Structure 1
Amino acid sequence: MSSTQLEVVLSFVGPDITKQHTNFREPIEAKQRLAITIRYLASGDSMHYNYRVGVQTVSDCIHLTTKAIKKRMMSRFLPRPTRETWEKVSQDFWEKWDFPNCLGALDGKHINIVAPPGSGSLFYNYKGTFSLVLLALVDAQYRFLAVQVGDFGRTSDGGVFRNSALARELENQTLNIPPPKPLPGTAFLGDMPHVIVADAAFPLKSYLLKPYGGRNLPRDRQKFNYRLSRARMSVEKAFGILAARWRIFLRPIHMGVEKVDTLVMAACILHNFLSRPGDAECSK
């Protein structure tokens, strides 16, 4: 993140992270609070790292700042998709990944945490670690379109999706999704619905496609699986960029569950902010 981009973020969250002066001590400046948070996210360092302030102060700065990022920047950098957004996403998937009528790639990512006291096996996942699940829908440019975080690590990706707001809105058709249209070059098949692509862990729906299962598949099914897997790479790459950019996700996060939820949402918003150069270099 450049100094210019840092100033842009500060222009959004500054009022929410500025503390009043008191007679007892000078408050930490808003810019320093933001810098501590960005360093914590980007370096993956412990809160005990030498920030020249106390550990509890570092914790308070991070939580206050991530809450402000979620509150002030979400509506611009992780907004609810509109009809025009879906149409742009569909066009991008066709041009970049050769997959028509695609509204995004869906997958889950485990966010490793230190096991909360008394949580038992709720957060214990199949990888042998404790985690929360980040469910994300990603566009062809590796930007997040919809994000949900907080489900128990023991829950499968398909189970997380079934209980998500995204699944409910897709079932209820309340997401402003464009109407069906012919596939490029195959108008004789009639109109086909817009879909989301996912892996085998997710349920097969009219709006959600996953690969054909089994071995020794016919050639047409092999081609379909290849095309779908290429399109689905966008969500895998988005998770990779997220973890490479915010290295806090490379180790267990030692925070309360609700604070981790807020931190992950803030990281996804900042990911989108940094993935849109035109917005990232100008103020609001």
Structure 2
Amino acid sequence: MDPIEVIAIYEALEEERRRKRKYWVHPLNTLRLEIGQFHTLYMQLRLNPDKSFEYYRMSIQSFDVLLNLTKDYITKQNTKLRTAIPPEERLTVTLRLGEPLAGKRDDAERCFCFRYLSTGMNFVSLSHDFLIGRSTVAEIIKETCEVIWKVLQPLEMPEPNKESFLKVAEEFYKYANFPNCLGAVDGKHIRIINPDYSGSNFFNYKKFFSIVLMAAADSNYCFIIIDVGSFGKEADSNVFRSSNFGQKLYHDMLDLPEDKILPGTTGPALPYVLVADEAFALHKHVMRPYPNKTLDIEKRTFNYRLSRARRYVECTFGILSNKWRVLHTAILVNPDFATEIVKTTCVLHNFVRRRDGLNCNDELLTSDLPTLPNCNTSRPSNAINTRDLFKNILWKK
């Protein structure tokens, strides 16, 4: 049979299946306002801050701030045929705590967006818990994630500039004792399902399908910059170099501070750098450890100090994945949707971290997200010289 005929038959069968839809709204879902999870738990959670933090992964106060920031973008109008799902519930299915709902669609929808991100529940389970149709659940989560990123990114993860880099470097020197550090950079695999017609592009060295989260973090365990969505087969160095941030760094287009002579030294002035592991290429602005095991004491000291600074990004990934459990399992959507989900968890991480700090009950400073493989790369002589200068100064200090 001709492939075109097969496709035509398949589409005809699908159309017939859609026509046979038994209910416009399933009778069970019409009971959402009476027995749906959001409507039975919402007010009780508001009265119990500890439980609400466990449920939403943030404080009531932070949740209210987020609702106010995003409410205008996700509010839906009631129609003659149906009552809209309110924003609080939208956030709960994707996060919200607010006033009694009185049947507004917008607030209710937003709440379950947080529920999805914080637990990783599949859309079918969320549909059963909240008594909302499965396709509606997917639509709400996608829309709410896009809105959260749009609203929070300029506030919580703005493009870094000279002033913000100087602040990061000052805090890295204070907490990690590593000078002129712009941040710690690393990449992690985010598990997804294999997209149709993608071949082996998303198949990584760990033998599963993934997209890559590339990120730089500061010493407060917040993300400075992220890049999400590269093929899982790519190595760290390639992903970083091809990212928007990497392109600007390698082409001297970033607003970086001028080279600086370190306190207590007479020179020379050293550039500001990112610290990374051996998977990254050595560059004037990217420091990686010295290779090989047979190193002298000065090089071992440098590697130790660099590793101590680099672990901040590892801890940041650990906090991220332990708070937003959707990252603990395969994200069962297409890569573009998965990219929006990961971006949303990262910007929410910064939002919650700066308002609520760390919660020892559910935050583990270790990451279970797989790292990326090493990539053999050339080492420019000026980058080697820069690393040697850092080594000499760190050894003397």
How many residues align structurally? 278
Map 1:109-128 onto structure 2 (within 5 A).
109-128=188-207
Map 1:53-132 onto structure 2 (within 5 A).
53-132=132-211
* Structure 1: gaps spanning 5 or more residues: 280-284
| Greater per-residue strand proportion | 1
What SS does structure 2 have at the residue aligned with 1:233?
Answer: helix
User: Are 2:274 and 1:196 aligned?
Assistant: yes
Structure 2 CA distance for aligned equivalents of residues 183 and 131 of structure 1:
41
| Greater per-residue helix proportion | 2
1 or 2 for the larger relative contact order (CA 8 Å, sep ≥6)?
Answer: 1
Whether the 8 Å CA contact 1:100–1:184 is kept in 2: the answer is: no
Aligned to 1:226: 304
Aligned to 2:390: none
Aligned Cα root-mean-square deviation (Å): 1.2
Aligned to 2:231: 152
Aligned to 2:73: 16
Aligned to 2:86: 29
Structure 2 CA distance for aligned equivalents of residues 197 and 174 of structure 1:
19
After superposition, what is the alpha-carbon deviation per residue over 1:214-245, rounded to whole angstroms, capped at 9, x for unaligned?
A: 01200000000000000000110010000000
Map 1:162-241 onto structure 2 (within 5 A).
162-186=241-265, 188-241=266-319
Aligned to 2:217: 138
Structure 1 CA distance for aligned equivalents of residues 263 and 300 of structure 2:
20
TM-score normalized with structure 2 length: 0.69
Aligned to 2:350: 272
> 118, 123, 128: which is aligned to 1:47?
123
Structure 1 CA distance for aligned equivalents of residues 241 and 130 of structure 2:
42
Residue 264 of structure 1: CA displacement?
0.9
Structure 2 CA distance for aligned equivalents of residues 5 and 164 of structure 1:
31
User: Are 2:327 and 1:249 aligned?
Assistant: yes
After superposition, what is the alpha-carbon deviation per residue over 1:241-261, rounded to whole angstroms, capped at 9, x for unaligned?
A: 000000000000001111111
Structure 2 CA distance for aligned equivalents of residues 278 and 27 of structure 1:
31
Could you tell me which amino acid in structure 2 is paired with residue 265 of structure 1? K
Structure 1 CA distance for aligned equivalents of residues 193 and 334 of structure 2:
9
* Structure 2: gaps spanning 5 or more residues: 1-57, 93-111, 358-397
Identical residues among aligned pairs (%): 40
Residue 51 of structure 1: CA displacement?
2.2
TM-score normalized with structure 1 length: 0.95
Structure 2 CA distance for aligned equivalents of residues 254 and 278 of structure 1:
30
Structure 2 CA distance for aligned equivalents of residues 213 and 266 of structure 1:
36
Could you tell me which amino acid in structure 1 is paired with residue 83 of structure 2? E
Residue 191 of structure 1: CA displacement?
0.9
